[in-house]
Amino acid sequence: MPATLLALLEQMNIKAPTIVAEIDGEVIDRQKFADTKINNGQKIELIRFMGGG
């Protein structure tokens, strides 16, 4: 299992620049993706912009 949020995104081939992430309901600053450690049992939401009106 990847150690950080950034490593997780890289493993899933998701480009970080336009992603927003929430861990257990808390929004994580993009600048902190590399420093944010992830653990088993956490709920990670990955969200991005899509077309919408």
Residues that bind other proteins (CB under 8 A): 12-15, 18-20, 22, 27-30, 45-53
Q: What is the rounded radius of gyration, in angstroms, for the C-alpha atoms of the chain?
A: 11
Minimum CB distance to other proteins, residue 3 (Å): 19
Minimum CB distance to other proteins, residue 35 (Å): 16
- Torsions phi, psi for 20 (to 5 deg): -120, 140
CB 33 within 8 A of CB 9: yes
The smaller minimum CB distance to other proteins, of residues 18 and 42, is found at 18
Eight-class DSSP state of 29: P
Minimum CB distance to other proteins, residue 23 (Å): 12
